Amino acid sequence: MVENIVILTGAGISAESGLGTFRDAGGLWEQYPLEQVATPEGFARNPALVHDFYNARRKNCAEAEPNPAHFALADLERNFKGSVLIVTQNVDDLHERAGSQNILHMHGEMGKAKCHICDYHWHSPPELFAKTPCPSCTKPATRPDIVWFGEMPYHMVKIELYLQDADLFVSIGTSGNVYPAAGFVQQARLAGAQTLELNLEPSQGASNFHAARNGPASEVVPQWVGEIIRAGL
């Protein structure tokens, strides 16, 4: 019997909402060197460049709309008798806007800012600049509240507890390149969960899953959610 579902989402679930993925052909890391825009060292070297990059992405996120995959996961949370947790690597807010409530943003959120001196967090205005003052300590030390390469993802203790208790672990739209998220499937499996990958194509970690369905998230996710709800699991 399935009581606890943990769902890991990645850029692929938001691709059909018009937000670019990172590692597909023409993806974000082909267009922008990640060392420059997604590391603390890159930010220290050129904060204006990093703010420009995230200001543009924040605008894209604000203009994007959730797609049928996001709405299906919100339906699942509303209709499933047990617990549904979404752990997302995405920094957009499309899960929230589709109606999901139990979400952990392990790589931060585009809609938030933080101070790199006093660590205060707040809701970001549409644009941030190198001189934007921290509302708490007033220093011009504002950065996007995004977990960059080399930094510790958020909510790890809570995520590990949920993985321990998971009966079903589902990975959606992620290439399985970035740890610790890429290792969640093995952790859940060791703890006894069934594991399922829903992705456009087999990911790098596809062989770690018990089962897979390949296709666009807007098709395979609503189909899978419909089956779970109809089965009355």
Residue 67 in contact with ligand APR, rule: CB under 6 A: no
Query: How many angstroms separate the CA atoms of 102 and 193, rounded?
Result: 19
| From candidates 89, 124, 132, 142, binder to ligand APR by CB under 6 A | 89
* Closer residue to ligand APR (CB): 3 or 65: 65
| From candidates 201, 207, 211, 226, binder to ligand APR by CB under 6 A | 201
Active site residue 155: no
| From candidates 22, 80, 169, 209, binder to ligand APR by CB under 6 A | 22
Q: Among 58, 171, 155, 145, which residue's Cα sits nearest to residue 104?
A: 155
Q: Who contacts 33 (Cβ-Cβ below 8 Å, separation ≥6)?
A: none
Residue 168 beta carbon to ligand APR: minimum distance, rounded to whole angstroms: 19
| From candidates 4, 7, 16, 113, binder to ligand APR by CB under 6 A | 16
Residue listed under structure tokens 């606890």: 4
| From candidates 15, 19, 50, 196, binder to ligand APR by CB under 6 A | 15
Query: How many angstroms separate the CA atoms of 107 and 147, rounded?
Result: 5
Return phi, psi of residue 142, to 5°: -80, 135
- What one-character DSSP code corresponds to residue 217? H
* Closer residue to ligand APR (CB): 82 or 202: 202
* Closer residue to ligand APR (CB): 134 or 225: 225
Q: Is the peptide bond before 180 cis (omega within 30 degrees of 0)?
A: yes
160, two tokens: 């590990």
Longest dimension (CA), the chain: 55
**Site residues (vs ligand APR, CB under 6 A):** 10-12, 15-16, 21-24, 27, 89, 107, 173-175, 177-178, 199-201, 203, 216-217
